[in-house]
Amino acid sequence: MSTARTNLRWWQTAAIYQVYPRSFQDTDGDGVGDLPGVIRRLDHLCDLGVDAVWINPFFRSPMKDFGYDVSDYCDVDPTFGTLADFDRLLAEAHRRGLRVLLDLVPNHTSDRHPWFVESHADRGSPKRDWYVWRDPAPGGGPPNNWISFFGGPAWTLDRRTGQYYLHHFLPEQPDLNYRNPEVVEAMLDVMRFWLDRGADGFRVDVLWMLVEDPHFRDEPDNPAWRPGMRPRDRLIHCYTDDQLETHEIVRRMRALLDAYGEPERIMVGEIYLPYPKLVRYYGTPQTPECHLPYNFGLVERALGDWRPEVVRAVVEDYEAHLPPWAWPNWVLGNHDRPRVAARIGSEQARVATMLLCTLRGTPTIYYGDEIAMTGTEVPPDRVRDLPGLRDPLAHPPRDPARTPMQWDDSPYAGFSVVEPWLPVHPDYRTRNVAAQRDDPRSMLNLTRRLLRLRRESVAFLEGTYRSVTAPQGVFAFVRAADRQRWLVALNLTGAGRRLEGEGGEVVLSTHMDREGRERNALELRPHEGVVVRIA
Ligand code: GLC
């Protein structure tokens, strides 16, 4: 596929595809996806037109948080395969021109990791300080008021040694101490291990929480907290989020990546922070940090209140905060969030995908969103997300967004030959890759067309962005470079809309059924988005 000529780097013209490997393709008949399964489906990624794949953690793990509790950073968990499978995956991906990003989980390990086992053993252990251990508060109880993401205190008492250890997630995910230089070195070694094997970079888990306040002060109450919000948000996270020292560690990681030279190895950061703080994770041109600090603006703000005013505010807020050298990026969902089609419906999911692929910057597509999978109601006895099982109010189970990929209409959707670890959505007989490949108007073909349009157009790759006035319910903007100008007009409502004075050549509609010149006015049908060539 041809890419328009620009001076951009590979990760700037790229589209990223996120694979949750447990749910992508099972090849050994255990109902759980694996790395050979990812290899088997690489052609789907090429056919879709993405350039890089981010694979959620496949390292050795007791799987309390499905791989986000790592017990050996330098090996593949047997559920997913072997190191040889990984090497083969990398070779097969590279042969097809696809880059591979791994999921680095530096903030915490599993409680079964040998580092923690040693740290836990006694107070005098050389690894004691690799984790965050504190004495109980003077009157007994946890050292301070910090709350875990998954509900309850962020501290667990180890009775034998009489101290508490910190965990921002499950108690089985003890937090590493990034104030200890040995920990930083150890994690850089983990990165080297995979980079030496040929990995193209990392998505880095909870990057904004690596370091904590050195004085372990209580966090103040959040006056904006209301029942229904996450328990952790009762507090303002001035002592656990975004500590200044985190940036120094990110710079070290980036320097290591840069030392590998061409082709560039990259770092995508999972960072849930407001834009003014988020954009600091780009660093500066002299001391760069993340290539792409993930921008969750659409996920956090727009998809919950899907109106043009909100979408525009998010886009323009982001654009206004980006430093001139920073490269933007957009996402609509991931393995932690309800799917986009579950949030705004499958018709608007098409409109949202048009938005994702036509805004400035690198898009990431979550597996299954290219066929508008919606996420299944998972019955209570099939829920597998442990935090969601332990405390569903603090943390609604994430299983609906993680159900098996729907490849075809055979039993278990072509994902597996046995009952999968999570139920397949009952709509798989009609909503699947094979059926959508044959349907010229499908979501799959829409996504392919959008990705192709993006990569073939200088204006979409590196053009300017400017929003334009549009009727109520419509979000419209222009992308322009050189002599190329595109109008993107998105009808976010279920009623028809008319844009006066907006003639041009419609090159793509989310309905996939119209092309050609429109004079003087542009009619948008319900739930329709269009890309119009206006110069
Ligand atoms: C990130 C991951 C999430 C995981 C958590 C703890 O937010 O995306 O799935 O549970 O970190 O590692």
Q: Coil, helix or strand for 282?
A: helix
Answer yes or no: is the C-beta of 205 below 6 A from any ligand 1 atom.
yes
With a 6 Å cutoff on the Cβ, whether 169 touches ligand 1 is yes
CB 170 less than 6 A from any atom of ligand 1: no
Residue in 74, 71, 156, 75 with CA at minimum distance from that of residue 114: 71
**pLDDT given for residue 1 in this prediction:** 55
CA of 149 to the centre of ligand 1 (A): 10
Q: What is the predicted pLDDT for the residue at 48?
A: 98
Tell me how far the alpha carbon of residue 68 lies from the centroid of ligand 1, in angstroms. 6
Establish whether residue 65 lines the binding site of ligand 1, counting it when its CB lies within 6 angstroms of any ligand atom.
yes
Nearest to 116 by CA among 64, 167, 191: 167
Minimum CA distance residue for ligand 1 atom 6? 68
Residue 533 DSSP SS3: strand
- According to the model, what pLDDT value does residue 376 have? 80
CB-based contact 144:137 (threshold 8 Å): yes
What residues contact residue 259 under an 8 Å CB cut-off, 6+ apart?
Answer: none
Q: Take atom 3 of ligand 1 and give the residue whose Cα is closest.
A: 336
Q: Which of 56, 206, 334 to mutate to test the pocket of ligand 1 (most atoms within 8 A of CB)?
A: 206
Most informative mutation of 102, 104, 169 for ligand 1 (most atoms within 8 A of CB): 169
Q: Ligand 1 pocket, 68 CB below 6 A? A: yes
* Protein residue closest via CA to atom 9 of ligand 1: 336
pTM of the model: 0.98
Atom of ligand 1 nearest to the CA of 108: 12
Nearest ligand 1 atom to alpha carbon 335: 9
Cα-flanking dihedrals φ and ψ of residue 527, to 5°? 55, 30
> Which residue, among 454, 466, 501, 463, has the nearest Cα to 483 in the 3D structure?
463
Is 51 a catalytic site residue?
Answer: no
Reference 352, options 403, 398, 299, 278; nearest CA is: 299
Choose one of 296, 336, 402 to mutate for the ligand 1 pocket test, by most ligand atoms within 8 angstroms of C-beta. Answer: 336
Residue 214 CA neighbour count, 13 Å, CB half: 5
Q: Which amino acid is residue 406, in one-letter code?
A: Q
Pick the atom of ligand 1 nearest to 105's CA.
12
In angstroms, what CA-CA distances link 490 with 389, 469, 470, 494?
A: 39, 12, 9, 11
Q: How far apart are the first and last CA of the chain?
A: 24
Instruction: From 205, 208, 270, give the residue whose CB has the most ligand 1 atoms within 8 Å, as the site to mutate.
Output: 205
272 Cβ closer than 6 Å to some ligand 1 atom = no
Among the options 51, 69, 270, 528, which is catalytic? Answer: 270
**Four-residue CA torsion sign, 366, 367, 373, 379:** negative
Which residue has the CA at smallest separation from atom 12 of ligand 1? Answer: 68
**Catalytic residue, candidates 205, 289, 369, 502:** 205
Ligand 1 binding pocket includes 336 (Cβ within 6 Å): yes
Is 377 designated active site?
no
**Cα-trace Rg, the chain:** 23
| 8 A C-beta contact, residue 21 and residue 58 | yes
- How buried is 94 (Cβ within 10 angstroms: 0-12 exposed, 13-18 middle, 19+ buried)? middle
Residue (of 267, 208, 205, 228) closest to 65 by Cα position: 205
Q: Measuring from atom 2 of ligand 1, which residue has the nearest CA?
A: 205
Residue 477 alpha carbon to ligand 1 centre in Å: 34
CA 517 → CA 450, 458, 508, distances in Å? 19, 22, 11
CA of 466 to the centre of ligand 1 (A): 35
Q: Kindly state if the Cβ of 66 falls inside 6 Å of ligand 1.
A: no
Ligand 1, atom nearest to 150 Cα = 10
Probe target for ligand 1 pocket from 19, 68, 166, 272, with the most ligand atoms within 8 Å of CB: 68
Q: Taking the chain (535 residues) in consecutive chunks of 10 residues, what is each chunk's mean pLDDT?
A: 87 98 98 98 98 98 98 98 98 98 98 98 97 96 96 96 98 98 98 98 98 98 92 95 98 98 97 98 98 98 98 98 97 98 98 98 98 91 94 90 98 98 97 98 98 97 97 98 95 96 91 91 96 92
Both tokens of 529, joined, read: 């988005």
* CA nearest neighbour of 81 among 47, 129, 36: 36
Q: Which atom of ligand 1 is nearest to the CA of 398?
A: 9
